[in-house]
C-alpha cells in the first residue's frame, strides 16, 4: 500500500496546483493534518516520510485537512477490516492484492515494470509488447473481486466515517457542489468508469482473435508494431474535435482542432473502434461536473478541453507549466512525456467526447461494470458553483485513499 500512499501525496500536490482553494472555517475541536503529533499524520508516516505527509497537509484546503486529520486511524482500521471480512469478494481480492504489491500479478509470472523517461524505441517496443491474455489476467480479478471489494468492503465504511464526522461536513458539502454527487458516489463511479475503459471486452479482436480487452485494443492501435509513431498519434488524438471523433477513432480522415487535415489517426484494421465508448462515458461524466464552469489553470480553461467547438491553445499550456515550476523542471517534465515545448505550442488540445453513440462500429462491446455506462453528455453548466473550488476537489478522493492506506 506504500504505492497508494505515494500516489495520494503526488496527486494531492497536483490537485492543488492552481492554489484557489476554499478555506472554510472549521470547529476548534477538529484536528488538522498539520497539527503536531496528529494521529493520522503519525499513522501515514509509517508508510511514507513524515516530511512528505506534512507538505501535503500544509497545502490542502483547511476543510480537507481538518476532516482527514480528525478521523480516528484505529476506527478506520476497524471498520475496514470488518468490511473486508464481511464482503464475500474480499477474501480473493486480498490474495490478489498481496501478490500485486509484491510485483507479480495473480495467476501470471509476468512482472510489470514502469517505463522510465529514458526509454529507447526498442525498450518501448518491448514494454508495450504484451498479450491480451496478460491483460485479461489483470482485468478478470479486478472486475470479479478487487473492484467490488474496494468499493463495498473498503471505501464504503471509510466514507461512512467521513460522513458521520462533523469535522468533515464542510468538505463533503464542497465536493457535492463541485462534482454534483456525494464523495462515495463520485469515487465509485470514477473507479467503475476507469475499469471499463481498460477492461471492457471488444468482439471480434485483432488478427482473427475472438475478442480482446479495450486496454489491449488502445495500446495496439497507438503502437501498431512501431512505437516511433506513438508521440504523433497521441498529439493528434488530443486534438480531435467532438464532431470528428467517429471518423478519427475508426481510422478515417479527419480535421484537427486547428483545422489540419489528417489522413488517419490509426491504421486500419488496427483501430480502437467501439472501445472509444467507455472513454466517452468517462469524459461525458466529467464534463457534467459543475466545477468545470470556472475551473482554470493559469490562462487555461479546463472547460475548453471538453466543450463543443473549443480547445486549449498549446502556448497557454506552456505558460501555465512555467508558472507552476521552473524552466529546468518544465523541461524535465516534457522530456518524461516524450514531447517538447514546441510540440505543445503547436497544438490545440481537446478531449473528444459526446456523439459516439451515433457512430457505427463493427462487432460488439461488453461492459465489465454495466452500471458505469450511464453517463449522458449534456451542455456544460454555465452557473458558478456555490463554493470557489478548483482542482483541490480531487484531493478528497486522494486523501481518502491515503487514509485507507492506514489499514494495510
Q: pLDDT by residue (tens digit) across 10-60?
A: 333 333 333 333 444 445 589 988 888 889 988 888 878 888 888 888 788
Q: In this predicted structure, what is the pLDDT of residue 101? A: 62
The rounded distance, in Å, linking the Cα atoms of 64 and 169 is 10
Decide the pairing of beta strands 201-203 and 212-213.
Answer: antiparallel
Show me where the domains of the chain are located: 2-74+390-407, 90-198, 229-372
Residue with cell 486534438: 239
Mean pLDDT of 388-393: 33
For residue 157, give the 3-state DSSP assignment: helix
pLDDT of residue 159: 94
pLDDT tens, 318-342?
999 999 999 999 999 999 888 999 9
Q: What does the mean pLDDT of the chain come to?
A: 80
Residue 189 confidence (pLDDT) above 90: yes
Confidence of residue 122 (pLDDT cuts 50, 70, 90): low
pLDDT of 391 > 50? The answer is no
- Cell digits for 213? 480487452
Q: Give the per-residue pLDDT at 5.
A: 35
365-382 burial: b if 16+ Cβ within 10 Å, else e: bebbbeebbebebeebbe
- How high is the pLDDT of residue 222? 93
Is the per-residue pLDDT at 395 higher than 50? no
Spatial distance between the Cα atoms of 112 and 306, rounded to a whole number of angstroms: 32
User: pLDDT tens-digit profile of 359-385?
Assistant: 999 889 999 998 655 444 333 333 333
Output the pLDDT for position 102. Answer: 62
Nearest-angstrom CA–CA distance, 29 and 178 = 26
Q: Quick one: average pLDDT of 111-117?
A: 43
The pTM of this model reads 0.77
Question: Quick one: which of 285, 284, 288, 252 has its CA closest to 271?
Answer: 252
Q: Which residues pair with 313 in a beta bridge?
A: 348
pLDDT of residue 162: 95
The pLDDT confidence band at residue 111, using thresholds 50, 70 and 90, is very low
Mean pLDDT, residues 107-119: 44
95 has pLDDT over 90 = no
Which pLDDT score is estimated for 390?
Answer: 35
Amino acid at each position: 500500500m506504500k504505492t497508494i500512499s505515494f500516489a495520494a501525496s503526488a496527486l494531492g500536490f497536483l490537485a492543488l496546483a492552481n492554489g484557489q482553494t476554499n478555506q472554510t472555517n472549521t470547529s476548534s475541536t477538529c484536528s488538522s493534518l498539520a497539527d503536531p503529533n496528529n494521529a493520522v499524520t503519525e499513522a501515514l508516516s509509517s508508510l511514507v516520510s513524515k516530511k512528505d505527509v506534512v507538505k501535503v497537509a500544509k497545502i490542502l484546503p483547511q476543510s480537507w485537512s481538518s476532516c482527514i486529520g480528525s478521523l480516528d486511524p484505529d476506527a478506520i482500521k476497524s471498520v475496514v477490516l470488518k468490511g473486508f471480512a464481511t464482503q464475500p469478494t474480499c477474501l480473493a481480492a486480498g490474495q490478489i492484492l498481496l501478490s500485486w504489491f509484491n510485483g507479480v500479478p495473480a495467476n501470471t509470472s509476468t512482472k510489470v515494470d514502469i517505463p522510465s523517461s529514458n526509454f529507447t524505441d526498442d525498450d518501448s517496443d518491448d514494454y508495450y509488447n504484451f498479450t491480451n491474455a496478460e491483460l485479461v489476467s489483470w482485468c478478470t480479478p479486478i472486475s470479479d473481486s478487487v473492484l467490488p471489494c474496494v468499493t463495498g468492503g473498503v471505501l464504503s465504511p471509510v466514507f461512512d466515517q467521513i460522513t458521520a464526522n462533523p469535522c468533515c461536513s464542510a468538505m463533503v458539502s464542497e465536493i457535492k457542489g463541485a462534482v454534483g454527487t456525494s464523495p462515495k458516489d463520485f469515487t465509485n463511479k470514477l473507479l467503475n468508469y476507469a475499469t471499463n475503459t481498460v477492461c471492457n471486452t471488444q468482439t471480434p479482436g485483432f488478427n482473427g482473435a475472438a475478442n480482446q480487452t479495450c486496454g489491449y485494443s488502445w495500446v495496439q492501435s497507438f503502437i501498431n508494431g512501431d512505437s516511433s509513431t506513438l508521440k504523433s498519434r497521441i498529439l493528434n488524438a488530443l486534438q480531435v474535435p467532438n464532431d470528428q471523433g467517429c471518423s478519427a477513432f475508426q481510422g478515417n480522415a479527419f480535421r484537427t482542432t486547428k483545422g489540419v487535415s489528417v489522413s488517419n489517426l490509426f491504421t486500419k484494421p488496427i483501430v480502437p473502434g467501439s472501445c472509444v465508448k467507455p472513454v466517452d462515458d468517462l469524459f461525458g461524466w466529467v464534463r457534467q461536473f459543475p466545477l468545470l464552469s470556472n475551473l482554470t489553470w493559469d490562462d487555461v480553461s479546463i472547460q475548453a478541453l471538453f466543450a463543443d467547438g473549443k480547445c486549449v491553445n498549446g502556448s497557454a499550456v506552456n505558460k501555465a507549466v512555467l508558472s507552476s515550476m521552473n524552466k529546468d523542471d518544465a523541461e524535465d517534465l516534457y522530456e518524461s512525456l516524450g514531447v517538447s515545448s514546441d510540440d505543445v505550442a503547436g497544438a490545440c488540445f481537446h478531449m473528444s467526447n459526446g456523439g459516439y453513440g451515433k457512430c457505427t462500429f463493427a462487432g460488439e462491446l461488453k461492459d465489465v461494470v454495466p452500471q458505469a455506462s450511464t453517463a449522458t453528455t449534456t451542455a456544460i453548466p454555465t452557473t458558478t458553483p456555490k463554493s470557489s473550488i478548483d482542482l483541490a476537489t480531487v484531493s478528497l478522493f486522494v486523501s481518502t485513499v491515503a487514509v485507507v492506506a492506514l489499514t494495510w
